[in-house]
């Protein structure tokens, strides 16, 4: 039986998974731009659409250069058009760009695109093959749909913040913008799923991802308290969220901290060898995982007594020798210069035209056998106005000039 997947002429394709895929990217901040960053790094032609003043992360440069560096991290290998979607002519340009695109992504508040007249119902009529991807805080439906959503507020509403921190302290947000990026990954996955389906059906889909909904599966360990005791999970600091494993903590050293986890009895017995406490083999307080959890204070103190006498590098070396899962707690200076990630090509030093010498990430998705995308720096605001409107919409230089004069598109940044 012949596969229903459409056959394409691949003779001129680059050796990149998403070569030939065109994405109209209205993403802003982290969630949407990370999803389209992953697509750009896989070879898609990503056309970033920004308001005339630029998206919020680009504007951070007025606060400090460093606070705007995430724009360079998430928008490499994209082309940029600055477009006034509050004008009818601006919306017409967006429609014309989308008519021949494969994907449109937006993470505005629910209802914004519909009010502008460029939502799913309109765009899918213009382009039945379009994958329309919408990222929001709480989804396109439901009683909480219109609640304002940012990473920290969704951390609070999702339950994530309630289990982060120490038992005697206030709830604490996670240090990184975990919800933005967790939902950005899901948005990418939804787009890829719909693109795969389209090869069979020839039809597009509306794909939506709610930030709140991407968090719940990550709370799997903490849910033990709900089902075992019928209570809200407590904050456990650096211990296991379900208090179901020991050792599982961050332990002090002479010059910092080291994280240690023991999942099985081999790990525990190896740890006793590492800290020269094989005399405790068979001790009822530590002989099983449940016993170690019941005596968690003694378990942690036993390990702390050893780690505080060593540097984190010394401890990591010893635990590595005895195959005890561990890692030193490193700061971002150390991580930015991580030899392993630089050697693998995940991190890369570049000379950015706006930000100078910075480290930027590549895609964590490794498609073996595919060519590496040649990196281009994140674009200036409106950098590709003339290129895209001329090539894709066949507008003349005079027509583009009038759009600039009338405030429909911006003038490219110098």
Domains of the chain: 22-216+342-405 (3.40.50.10540), 248-329 (3.30.1540.10)
Q: How far apart are CA 18 and CA 373, in angstroms?
A: 11
The predicted pLDDT at position 154 comes to 97
The predicted pLDDT at position 265 comes to 93
pLDDT average, residue stretch 297-309: 97
Q: Which helix (H) or strand (E) holds 274?
A: helix 265-274
Q: How far apart are CA 262 and CA 268, in angstroms?
A: 6
The predicted pLDDT at position 8 comes to 54
Q: Which of 93, 103, 126, 105 is nearest to 386 (CA)?
A: 93
Q: How far apart are CA 24 and CA 46, in angstroms?
A: 6
- pLDDT over 70 (residue 199): yes
Catalytic residue chosen out of the listed positions 19, 180, 228, 398: 180
- pLDDT over 80 (residue 332): yes
The predicted pLDDT at position 12 comes to 80
357 forms beta bridges with: 351
Q: Which of 329, 181, 203 is nearest to 260 (CA)?
A: 329
247 cis-preceded (ω within 30 degrees of 0): yes
Q: How far apart are CA 338 and CA 340, in angstroms?
A: 6
- pLDDT over 80 (residue 26): yes
- pLDDT over 70 (residue 333): yes
pLDDT average, residue stretch 355-361: 95
In Å, how far are 157, 170, 240, 257, 337 from 166, measured between CA atoms? 19, 8, 12, 17, 30
- 112 vs 412 pLDDT, higher one: 112
Let me know: does 345 contact 362? Beta carbons within 8 Å: yes
pLDDT band at 371 (very low <50, low <70, confident <90, very high): very high
The predicted pLDDT at position 1 comes to 36
The predicted pLDDT at position 11 comes to 67
pLDDT average, residue stretch 108-127: 97
Structure tokens at 180: 């933005």
Q: How far apart are CA 115 and CA 86, in angstroms?
A: 10
Full-model pTM: 0.93
Residues 240-253 have pLDDT tens digits of 999 999 999 999 99
The predicted pLDDT at position 2 comes to 40
The predicted pLDDT at position 413 comes to 82
Let me know: does 42 contact 350? Beta carbons within 8 Å: no
- Only one residue has tokens 């901290």, namely 257
Alpha-carbon Rg of the chain, whole angstroms?
Answer: 26
Q: Which helix (H) or strand (E) holds 289?
A: helix 289-294
The predicted pLDDT at position 88 comes to 97
- pLDDT over 50 (residue 59): yes
- 84 vs 1 pLDDT, higher one: 84
Asked if 180 is an active-site residue, the reply is: yes
The predicted pLDDT at position 9 comes to 55
Q: How far apart are CA 185 and CA 183, in angstroms?
A: 5
SS3 337: coil
- pLDDT over 80 (residue 231): yes
- pLDDT over 70 (residue 233): yes
Residues 67-101 have pLDDT tens digits of 999 999 999 999 999 999 999 999 999 999 999 99
């Amino acid at each position: 039986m012949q596969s229903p997947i459409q056959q394409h002429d691949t003779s001129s394709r680059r050796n990149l998974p998403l070569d030939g895929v065109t994405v109209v990217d209205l993403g802003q901040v982290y969630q949407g731009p990370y999803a389209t960053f992953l697509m750009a790094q896989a070879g898609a032609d990503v056309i970033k659409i920004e308001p005339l003043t630029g998206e919020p992360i680009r504007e951070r440069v007025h606060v400090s250069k460093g606070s705007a560096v995430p724009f360079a991290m998430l928008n490499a290998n994209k082309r940029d058009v600055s477009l006034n979607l509050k004008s009818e002519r601006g919306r017409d340009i967006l429609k014309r760009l989308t008519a021949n695109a494969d994907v449109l992504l937006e993470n505005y508040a629910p209802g914004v695109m519909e009010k502008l007249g460029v939502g799913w119902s309109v765009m899918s009529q213009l382009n039945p093959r379009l994958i329309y991807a919408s990222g929001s805080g709480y989804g396109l439906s439901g009683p909480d749909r219109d609640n304002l959503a940012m990473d920290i507020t969704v951390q609070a509403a999702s339950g994530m913040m309630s289990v982060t921190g120490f038992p005697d302290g206030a709830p604490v947000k996670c240090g990184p913008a975990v919800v933005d990026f967790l939902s950005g990954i899901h948005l990418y996955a939804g787009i890829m799923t719909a693109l795969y389906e389209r090869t069979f059906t020839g039809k597009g889909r509306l794909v939506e991802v709610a930030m709140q909904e991407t968090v719940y599966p990550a709370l799997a360990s903490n849910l033990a308290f709900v089902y075992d005791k019928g209570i809200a999970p407590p904050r456990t600091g650096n211990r296991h969220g379900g208090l179901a494993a020991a050792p599982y903590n961050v332990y002090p050293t002479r010059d910092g901290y080291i994280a240690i986890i023991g999942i099985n009895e081999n790990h525990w017995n190896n740890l006793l060898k590492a800290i020269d406490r094989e005399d405790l083999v068979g001790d009822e307080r530590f002989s099983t995982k449940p016993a170690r959890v019941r005596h968690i204070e003694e378990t942690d103190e036993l390990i702390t007594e050893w780690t505080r006498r060593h540097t984190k590098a010394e401890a990591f070396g010893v635990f590595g020798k005895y195959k005890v899962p561990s890692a030193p707690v490193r700061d971002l200076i150390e991580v930015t210069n991580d030899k392993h990630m630089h050697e693998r090509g995940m991190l890369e030093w570049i000379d950015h035209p706006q930000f100078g010498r910075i480290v930027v990430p590549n895609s964590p998705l490794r498609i073996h056998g595919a060519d590496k995308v040649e990196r281009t720096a994140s674009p200036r605001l409106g950098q590709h106005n003339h290129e895209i409107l001329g090539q894709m919409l066949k507008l003349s230089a005079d027509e583009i000039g009038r759009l600039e004069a009338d405030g429909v598109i911006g003038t490219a940044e110098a």
